[in-house]
């Protein structure tokens, strides 16, 4: 088949990202031709500020060099400005500086012409030494001017203006920032934060003239003719200026489109008008993405929304036709090294809004969260922006925050995640500081990878550096590093909305829903129904799918061992040297002399190198060869302890009133009872319980998925505690009087989690996501629903057979045992 022709006008971040996304989906669909007005490959425009500041070089900010275009068979016309679109003959016409003309025909056309700096109509704006701030040429001109001249004036104290001013100052110029409004960055910051930022920049030597209107740029005599020499204000005062950078905002660059008769709006919202599929409203063959676009009345000037647009646009160009762009919520960060500012949403206040404010002028910290009807609508952070991504996420998700209101200001991690010395301010960390304690990745390594490889998302950083890819406790830190390195280009993606993995566009929630609604019972059927992009998934999606099938349709869905992680497939825990560890079941942590003798005999017979007591009150035999597993199980004569599964692990108990002089309840018996009830329960992640016989809580019920604490009048139930990566105290669910109620309520909570939790989501994260109110409503307040949940859990675990017994029996089926046997060659 003859390939269709796709022409891209605008060789910038939005357009090229769209092409990259398209090549991933349909590499052979189009012959692609790219026109760029600048004589370069595609570079990371956001990093021009660090280049100006001398912190990075131009080669470091290239995203796609010329080889990339060649390797992908893309024709690139760099340094050619498209001057006309002929929609009737479906071609574009471009001119080079030397006047030569090139034409290119298209079947589909993608416009990504970006924006142009807005230069207000001030007399003298055409003088030499007056620049906008947009591209490599502007940046190079500024660097050159800094080498020869002394006085710089930046007009406009927005994000771009301040970054330009900072760069020029670092290059030795005397810089004055002139601003029309009463405080700097007035669109991103409130006055309090702006004042702090201004004071901090002033301390570095930057000067400010606020509430000043520029009347004219005054010409002087330069070597090469009329050059600007001063800026004059409306009040008649003048300041010297050898270089004037106008950063008074940007305007979408839609002139080319408008001249071709494509609707570009009128009045306030000007830009190439596109639909949710990123097609121009005028011509369905023509698409547009990026800063030149007006979508639902909004023009975006930050890069993150452009990437979202690119993804949707590529999907439609690839003829897949799924996905709509529905607009973006944006946040901003100022990229001035050593200064941390974050802002998102609407913080102008209003009749229904309320503020939570922390203002430590001396300590240089200001945090303001604006709340409306129990939801975050905006936030401004200065000095400590560690929780910016979290607030932003809560705002985007529209999450009800009244439950966490009292500690909202102290951030998400005020209890601390383990593994990086409690560090929670990435900006303050040295390059040599370890960020990921699992894989030993330092901050400098992450920053380098982000810059050199042009990474924009958390997933990309995880893939390339391995940081945050093991236990994940440093995810927040890595996100901060990403945000501070690429600035506004980083857009946190809600973990709940993002696809399960690259094999599908569906999120965990979507997959759960489809499995339930369409009664999907096998992995091949589920993948076919949900149009998986890979033939049989990957190591991320298959275990998740398998869990969703068996938890939604117990006794009906087909459990696929090949889709389970090795530990669940071999019913033992794999160790670094490929041997396994075996933990026999010991209900409630109670054992007998007979069991201990057998364990000792097994340890001797198989020369087991390490015998260890676990944190969950069990005995772990480590260093067993794969071939020996069935023999070890047989000799032990004990059931599997499931220490390897996303399943019930252990119920830890204290001795309770059976022996203890303080005990108020029989905690051992309760624990044994619960553990028996839950035997064979698979869950989104591991589940640990504890039962303590009195409030002294020796079984540590406060940090368990379900914690039970006996009191004289009954039992208190706590849920969603965690003692691992994230230390989180369990939340009080309710108090009950009898052991049967403990069983019923605990089982109902766990069943709710099993039905609603996403694979690999611990109860702490699940309850964070859905809210404790939701759990209470369905488990505590609604008795019928509680009993139904309880019934479904009992049904799911009914007839569960001990997997060790099944595999070590003399007459065990060959397929069950073959994985433990080695072949000979």
Partner 1 sequence: MTTELEKLPVATEAAGDWKTICALQDIPVLGARVVHSAQGDIAVFRNAEDEVFALQDRCAHKAGPLSQGIVHGRQVTCPLHGWKFELASGEAVAPDVGCTRALDVTVADGQVRLKV
Residues near partner 1 (CB under 8 A) are: 463-464, 469-470, 534-539, 542-543, 561-563, 565-566, 569-570, 574, 576, 578, 626, 815, 818-819, 822-825
* Tokens 């589909």 -> residue: 108
Cα separation, 21 vs 685, whole angstroms: 33
Let me know: does 69 contact 78? Beta carbons within 8 Å.
no
C-beta closer to partner 1: residue 460 or 658: 460
Cα separation, 348 vs 186, whole angstroms: 10
Cα separation, 761 vs 684, whole angstroms: 6
C-beta closer to partner 1: residue 592 or 822: 822
C-beta closer to partner 1: residue 66 or 502: 502
C-beta closer to partner 1: residue 67 or 223: 67
Cα separation, 657 vs 661, whole angstroms: 7
DSSP string, 659-723: T-SS--S-HHHHHHHHHHHHTT-B-SS-EEEEEESSTT-TT-GGGSSEEEEEETTEEEEEES-EE
C-beta closer to partner 1: residue 133 or 532: 532
**Of 112, 115, 210, 220, which is closest to residue 162 (Cα–Cα)?**
210
Helix (H) or strand (E) segment spanning residue 372: strand 365-372
C-beta closer to partner 1: residue 400 or 806: 806
Cα separation, 89 vs 671, whole angstroms: 78
C-beta closer to partner 1: residue 463 or 597: 463
**Of 251, 250, 243, which is closest to residue 177 (Cα–Cα)?**
243
* Smallest distance from partner 1 to CB 822, Å: 5
CA within 13 Å, CB half, 323 = 20
User: Apex CA 713: angle with CA 712 and CA 716, to 5°?
Assistant: 90
Cα separation, 329 vs 101, whole angstroms: 41
* Smallest distance from partner 1 to CB 644, Å: 12
* Smallest distance from partner 1 to CB 456, Å: 15
* Smallest distance from partner 1 to CB 574, Å: 6
* Smallest distance from partner 1 to CB 61, Å: 20
C-beta closer to partner 1: residue 421 or 463: 463
* Smallest distance from partner 1 to CB 564, Å: 8
* Smallest distance from partner 1 to CB 443, Å: 19
* Smallest distance from partner 1 to CB 459, Å: 12
| Token pair of 517 as six digits | 């609604």
C-beta closer to partner 1: residue 5 or 625: 625
* Smallest distance from partner 1 to CB 537, Å: 6
C-beta closer to partner 1: residue 68 or 565: 565
Cα separation, 520 vs 638, whole angstroms: 35
* Smallest distance from partner 1 to CB 578, Å: 4
* Smallest distance from partner 1 to CB 569, Å: 8
C-beta closer to partner 1: residue 281 or 574: 574
* Smallest distance from partner 1 to CB 310, Å: 22
C-beta closer to partner 1: residue 388 or 537: 537
Let me know: does 401 contact 371? Beta carbons within 8 Å.
yes
* Tokens 């932003």 -> residue: 392
Q: What are phi and psi of 516, to 5 degrees?
A: -75, -50
DSSP string, 610-670: EEEE-TTS-EEEEEE-GGGHHHHHHHHT--B--TTSSBEEEEEE--GGGT-SS--S-HHHH
Spell out the alpha helix ranges (H) of 518-573. 523-529, 541-552, 566-570
Helix (H) or strand (E) segment spanning residue 216: strand 214-222
Buried-state track 451-477, b at ≥16 Cβ within 10 A, e below 16: beebbbbbbebbebbbbbbbbbbbbbb
């Amino acid at each position: 088949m003859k390939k269709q022709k796709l022409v891209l006008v605008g060789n910038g971040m939005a357009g090229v990202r769209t092409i990259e996304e398209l090549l991933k989906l349909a590499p052979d669909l189009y012959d692609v031709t790219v026109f760029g007005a600048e004589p370069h490959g595609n570079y990371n425009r956001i990093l021009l500020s660090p280049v100006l500041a001398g912190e990075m070089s131009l080669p470091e900010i290239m995203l796609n060099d010329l080889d990339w275009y060649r390797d992908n068979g893309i024709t690139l016309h760099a340094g050619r400005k498209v001057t006309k679109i002929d929609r009737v003959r479906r071609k574009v016409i471009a001119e080079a500086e030397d006047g030569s003309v090139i034409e290119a025909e298209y079947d589909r056309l993608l416009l990504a012409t970006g924006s142009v700096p807005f230069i207000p109509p001030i007399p003298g704006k055409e003088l030499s030494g007056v620049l906008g701030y947009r591209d490599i040429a502007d940046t190079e001109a500024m660097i050159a001017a800094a080498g020869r001249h002394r006085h710089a004036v930046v007009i406009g104290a927005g994000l771009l203006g301040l970054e330009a001013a900072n760069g020029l100052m670092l290059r030795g110029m005397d810089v004055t920032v002139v601003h029309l409004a009463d405080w700097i960055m007035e669109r991103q910051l409130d006055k309090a934060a702006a004042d702090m930022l201004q004071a901090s920049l002033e301390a570095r030597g930057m000067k400010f003239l606020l509430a000043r209107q520029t009347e004219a740029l005054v010409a002087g005599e330069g070597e090469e003719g009329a050059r600007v020499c001063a800026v004059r204000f409306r009040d008649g005062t003048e300041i010297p200026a050898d270089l004037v950078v106008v950063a008074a905002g940007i305007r979408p660059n839609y002139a080319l489109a408008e001249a071709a008769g494509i609707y570009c709006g009128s009045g306030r919202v000007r830009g190439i008008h596109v639909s949710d599929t990123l097609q121009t409203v005028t011509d369905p063959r023509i698409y547009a993405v990026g800063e030149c676009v007006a979508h639902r009345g909004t023009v975006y000037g930050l890069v993150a929304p452009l990437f979202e647009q690119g993804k949707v646009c590529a999907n439609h160009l690839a003829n897949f036709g799924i996905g709509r762009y529905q607009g973006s919520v944006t946040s901003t960060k100022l990229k001035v090294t050593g200064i941390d500012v974050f802002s998102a949403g609407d913080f102008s206040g209003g009749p229904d809004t309320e503020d939570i404010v922390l203002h430590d002028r001396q300590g240089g910290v200001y945090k303001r969260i604006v709340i409306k009807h129990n939801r975050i609508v905006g936030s401004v952070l200065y000095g400590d922006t560690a929780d910016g991504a979290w607030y932003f996420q809560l705002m985007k998700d529209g999450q009800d925050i009244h439950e966490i209101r009292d500690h909202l200001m102290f951030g998400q991690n005020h209890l601390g995640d383990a593994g990086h010395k409690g560090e929670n301010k990435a900006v303050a960390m040295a390059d040599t500081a370890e960020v990921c304690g699992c894989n030993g990745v330092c901050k400098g390594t992450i920053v380098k990878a982000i810059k050199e490889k042009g990474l924009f998302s958390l997933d990309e950083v995880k893939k390339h550096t391995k940081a945050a890819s093991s236990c994940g406790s440093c995810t927040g830190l890595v996100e901060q590093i990403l945000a501070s390195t690429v600035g506004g280009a980083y857009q946190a993606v809600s973990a709940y909305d993002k696809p399960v993995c690259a094999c599908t566009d569906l999120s965990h929630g979507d997959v759960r829903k489809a499995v339930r609604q369409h009664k999907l019972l096998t992995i091949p059927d589920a993948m076919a129904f949900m149009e998986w992009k890979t033939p049989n998934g990957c190591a991320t999606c298959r275990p998740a799918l398998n869990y969703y099938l068996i938890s939604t349709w117990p006794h009906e869905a087909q459990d696929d061992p090949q889709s389970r992680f090795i530990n669940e497939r071999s019913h033992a825990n794999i160790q670094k040297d490929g041997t396994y560890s075996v933990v026999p079941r010991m209900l409630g942590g109670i054992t007998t002399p007979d069991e201990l003798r057998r364990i000792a005999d097994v340890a001797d017979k198989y020369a087991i190198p390490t015998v260890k007591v676990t944190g969950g009150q069990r005995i772990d035999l480590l260093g067993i060869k794969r071939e020996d597993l069935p023999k070890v199980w047989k000799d032990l004569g004990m059931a599997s302890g499931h220490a390897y599964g996303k399943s019930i692990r252990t119920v830890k108990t204290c001795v309770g009133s059976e022996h203890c002089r303080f005990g108020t309840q029989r905690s051992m018996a309760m624990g044994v009872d619960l553990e028996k009830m839950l035997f064979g329960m698979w869950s989104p992640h591991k589940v640990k319980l504890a039962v303590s016989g009195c409030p002294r809580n020796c079984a540590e019920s406060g940090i368990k998925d379900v914690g039970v604490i006996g009191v004289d009048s009954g039992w208190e139930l706590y849920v969603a505690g965690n003692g691992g990566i994230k230390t989180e105290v369990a939340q009080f669910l309710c108090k009950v009087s009898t052991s049967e109620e403990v069983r019923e309520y605990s089982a109902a909570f766990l069943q709710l989690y099993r039905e609603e939790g996403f694979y690999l989501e611990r109860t702490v994260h699940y309850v964070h996501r859905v809210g404790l109110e939701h759990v209470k409503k369905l488990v505590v307040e609604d008795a019928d629903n509680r009993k139904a949940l309880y019934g479904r859990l009992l049904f799911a675990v009914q007839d569960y057979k001990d997997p060790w017994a099944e595999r070590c029996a003399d007459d065990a089926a060959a397929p069950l045992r073959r994985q433990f046997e080695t072949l000979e060659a």
